[in-house]
């Protein structure tokens, strides 16, 4: 863990005052994506994360986590929580079937660091001008793991990026398990084909650093390695995403983490155009066209 001290986070109720973010819910039939704006909705997010991370994926819960059946940490009170809502189930917490945690500079400042700082040196990213945003804690309920749900989440992220003029996205993404022999083809493929440029390259902390380039060149079937990556990581790569230097074993969550970096100007313009039409914006992109 990073040695950075943690400031006391603000109370959840204060962080979740009535929303004035300007984020307009995006709909696809019965599903919608928007920002959670009540403490009850964030509680539903934490319960969903527990079911996916602990019940399903085998994360190790301490006594308090097991008793509450909630995945909770100090960042939840300061982050924005992007949620997918099945309106057939309800318009509030009862309808939440997917989530993504979004942390911008002001939110990270309230805690004292970004979440990824416990695994990676992200100093190069923090030093950049403009807004940066950390993505994390993404999960979707079992019955909703479809292409349509993931596309809706991506549309929501793109809309949020546009709304807040975010220049750079980053965050830890996970491969299942901690067996490096099993994961060697995927890790080697990522290190050789998607390493971030030096000026925006996070590096795993020295005490947690795991080399990713693990196999000789002729031992990796690139097409198969790419196909075997988790859908979320493949999604980042399709957006032009890069990978940081080194992986990190997360024994608590039973995962092997890599650090993703995405320049938002590489995000497919179809996402932003859809949202601009939805809210009636005119942007520099449209003017230039």
Residue 70, CA atoms < 13 Å, CB-side half-sphere: 13
Which pLDDT belongs to residue 271?
55
Which pLDDT belongs to residue 284?
30
Domains in the chain and their CATH numbers? 12-288 (3.40.630.30)
For 57-72, what is the mean pLDDT? 94
Which pLDDT belongs to residue 14?
32
Q: How does the average pLDDT of the chain come out, rounded?
A: 86
For residues 160 and 82, the answer to whether their CB atoms sit within 8 Å is: yes
Which pLDDT belongs to residue 269?
52
Work out the pLDDT band at 145, boundaries 50, 70, 90. very high
Question: In this model, does residue 6 exceed pLDDT 90?
Answer: no
Task: Report which of residues 287 and 137 the model is more confident about.
Answer: 137
Q: What is the pLDDT of residues 224-273, one digit of tens each?
A: 999 999 988 998 998 889 999 999 999 999 999 999 999 988 664 545 55
Q: What is the pLDDT of residues 192-214, one digit of tens each?
A: 999 999 999 999 999 999 999 99
pTM of the entire predicted model: 0.83
Which pLDDT belongs to residue 18?
33
Strands 166-176 and 131-140: parallel
Which pLDDT belongs to residue 280?
43
């Amino acid at each position: 863990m990073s040695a950075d001290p943690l400031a006391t986070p603000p109370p959840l109720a204060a962080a979740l005052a009535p929303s004035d973010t300007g984020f307009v819910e995006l709909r696809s039939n019965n599903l919608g994506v928007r920002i959670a704006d009540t403490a009850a909705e964030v509680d539903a997010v934490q319960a969903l994360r527990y079911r996916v991370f602990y019940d399903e994926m085998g994360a190790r819960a301490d006594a308090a986590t097991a008793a509450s059946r909630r995945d909770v940490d100090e960042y939840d009170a300061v982050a924005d929580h992007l949620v997918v809502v099945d309106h057939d189930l309800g318009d509030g917490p009862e309808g939440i079937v997917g989530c993504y945690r979004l942390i911008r500079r002001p939110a990270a400042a309230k805690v004292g660091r970004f979440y990824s700082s416990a695994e990676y040196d992200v100093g190069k990213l923090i030093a950049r001008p403009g807004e940066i945003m950390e993505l994390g804690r993404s999960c979707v309920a079992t019955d909703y793991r479809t292409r349509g749900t993931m596309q809706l989440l991506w549309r929501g992220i793109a809309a949020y990026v546009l709304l807040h003029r975010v220049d750079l996205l980053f965050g830890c993404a996970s491969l299942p398990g901690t067996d490096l022999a099993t994961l060697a083809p995927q890790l080697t493929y990522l290190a050789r084909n998607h390493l971030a440029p030096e000026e925006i390259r996070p590096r795993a902390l020295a005490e947690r650093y795991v080399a990713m380039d693990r196999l000789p060149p002729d031992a990796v079937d690139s097409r198969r390695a790419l196909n075997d990556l988790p859908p979320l990581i493949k999604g980042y790569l399709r957006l032009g995403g890069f990978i940081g230097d080194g992986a990190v074993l997360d024994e608590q969550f039973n995962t092997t983490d890599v650090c993703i970096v995405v320049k938002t100007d590489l995000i497919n313009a179809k996402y932003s155009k859809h949202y601009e039409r939805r809210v009636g914006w005119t942007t520099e992109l449209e003017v230039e066209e």
